[in-house]
Amino acid sequence: MASGPPHVLIIGAGTGGLCLAHGLRRAGISVAVYERYRTRGEGLLGYRVGIGPTGSKALRECLPPELFDVYLATCARSPRYFNVITQRLRRTASFTLRPDTDPVETERSVARMTLRQVLLTGMEDVVHFDKTFTRYEQRDDGTVTAHFADGSTATGDLLVAADGTHSAVRRQYLPHAVVRDAGTINIATRVPLTAHTRQLLPERVEKGISLIFGAGGIMGVLHVMEFKWDRDGEIKPDVGDDDATLLRNWPGRRHDNTRDNINFIIWSTARRFPPDVMQRRGEDLVQTARNLTRHWHPNLRELLARSDPGSALPIRVATSEPVPAWKSSTVTLLGDAIHTMTPGRGVGANTALRDAALLCRQLRQAAAGDKTLLQAVADYEAAMVPYGFARVADSLNRSGTSGDDRMYKPVVGRLALLGARGYFGVTSRVPRLARKFVNDFYTYRGEED
């Protein structure tokens, strides 16, 4: 184990890994990140991720203040309503969300590619692309060596697995850990936001997050993503001077081709999809989504028809099983690499960011000599494992992200659908319940249990 400040190796330049890298660098701790993608623009990352108070707090803690301001400026317009609608576009419930005046205590809509570009800003000397991790060795002198597919190696005092759901580090370190198919499949698409596509949506849907509880066990979600730049990438005229200056000076803008769009995702139990759905792409995949939504409102069908075929992506939803306690060492894990969860509660990225901030705090203490590196890792894991797997369990039981959900059963499914719509309808109409629902929406995401 290192006696001086540690050198930290992070596998994976995703949400959690990059947040940790920023935090460590700000704390003066030596860090290197290894990413399998060959370039900073690779990967189908155009989709929305909702960052709530948990994630924003972690970003504020780890990022340089000026970069945190860029993060805020690059978020899409925040949703004003959380709606529940039917497949016929009938509104079952609508909750007014908090205004986005506070930098962290709000729900922010972020494009994955844009967030990635924000997190890569200023990290050119830290992130090494085209480095696919294959295995590690823990050495007798307390160091750990990572091996990459190109034959190169890197040695440090701590190896952090931030390499996502199919983590190669986890496979070696915790081979008994179980990541399994949750039994549902999503088809994600992006529809260019134009004057025409905008008017296909009712006002509250256009300004909010809308969960579609469709008949026959087909679910959906709509997010309108409107940014401060136009389709040519120029700053829109109504953007305030401070944000406009920040964005003009932000070098990451050159690497990001995200434009205003409507994220439209449909999902159901895997049984409802053709067996080869994971191989389908483009028009073929959009048509698969259209076949499943044959009885939906014509406006929703038109949105799907107008979606960018190049954006259509099938996602097989995964979840993880709680891992029995292990002895802490020079290898640790964060985010999806340890606690993959379904998107049911929209907290996977938030939890990865929370892990990053927590691990960073612990490593700062170790670097300051307040505890050993091993103790810092053990303290991080003792806190992370319980909240991480609590989120996994909650997420599995929400919004039909488990293929076993009652929603997908032949007869019971109709009752479950009516029950879910009824619950949201009543909750939204009783002011006291509606207030509690909205407060819980933020508290859940912001709680520090």
Stretch 236-265: interaction string toward ligand FAD, x if CB under 6 A? ------------------------------
Q: Does 348 bind ligand FAD (CB under 6 A)?
A: yes
| Smaller CB separation from ligand FAD, 110 or 205 | 110
Find, among 294, 276, 296, the residue nearest to 284 by Cα. Answer: 276
Q: Residue 179 forms beta bridges with which residues?
A: 320
Find, among 83, 84, 82, 79, the residue nearest to 110 by Cα. Answer: 79
CB–CB of 349/339 below 8 Å? no
Q: Does 400 bind ligand FAD (CB under 6 A)?
A: no
Among 114, 117, 186, 402, binds ligand FAD (CB under 6 A): 186
| Smaller CB separation from ligand FAD, 13 or 247 | 13
Residue 78, classed as helix, strand or coil, is coil
CA distances from 119 to 104, 229, 415, 418, 428 (A): 17, 19, 45, 42, 37
Among 59, 347, 373, 407, binds ligand FAD (CB under 6 A): 347
Among 5, 6, 23, 50, binds ligand FAD (CB under 6 A): 50
Q: Residue 266 forms beta bridges with which residues?
A: 187, 220
| Smaller CB separation from ligand FAD, 15 or 258 | 15
CB–CB of 335/352 below 8 Å? yes
Q: Which residue type occupies 231? A: R
Q: Cβ 178 to ligand FAD, closest distance in Å?
A: 17
CB–CB of 306/192 below 8 Å? yes
CB–CB of 182/318 below 8 Å? yes
Q: Does 357 bind ligand FAD (CB under 6 A)?
A: no
Backbone angles phi, psi at 183, to 5 degrees: 90, 5
Find, among 186, 15, 209, 243, the residue nearest to 113 by Cα. Answer: 15
DSSP state of 391: H
Stretch 123-162: interaction string toward ligand FAD, x if CB under 6 A? ---------xx----------------------------x
Among 349, 358, 367, 373, binds ligand FAD (CB under 6 A): 349
Among 5, 7, 8, 15, binds ligand FAD (CB under 6 A): 15
Chain positions 300 to 339 lying near ligand FAD, rule: CB under 6 A, are 315, 335-337
Among 164, 314, 388, 446, binds ligand FAD (CB under 6 A): 164
Q: Cβ 296 to ligand FAD, closest distance in Å?
A: 19
Among 36, 170, 253, 364, binds ligand FAD (CB under 6 A): 36
Specify the DSSP element, H or E, that contains 34: strand 30-34
Residue 322, classed as helix, strand or coil, is coil
- E strands present in 202-304: 208-213, 219-225, 261-269
| Smaller CB separation from ligand FAD, 137 or 242 | 137
| Smaller CB separation from ligand FAD, 5 or 16 | 16
| Count of residues near ligand FAD by CB under 6 A | 32
Residue with the CB atom nearest ligand FAD in the bound state:
14
Residues engaged in binding ligand FAD (CB under 6 A): 11-17, 34-37, 49-50, 132-133, 162-164, 168, 186, 188, 315, 335-337, 343, 346-350, 352
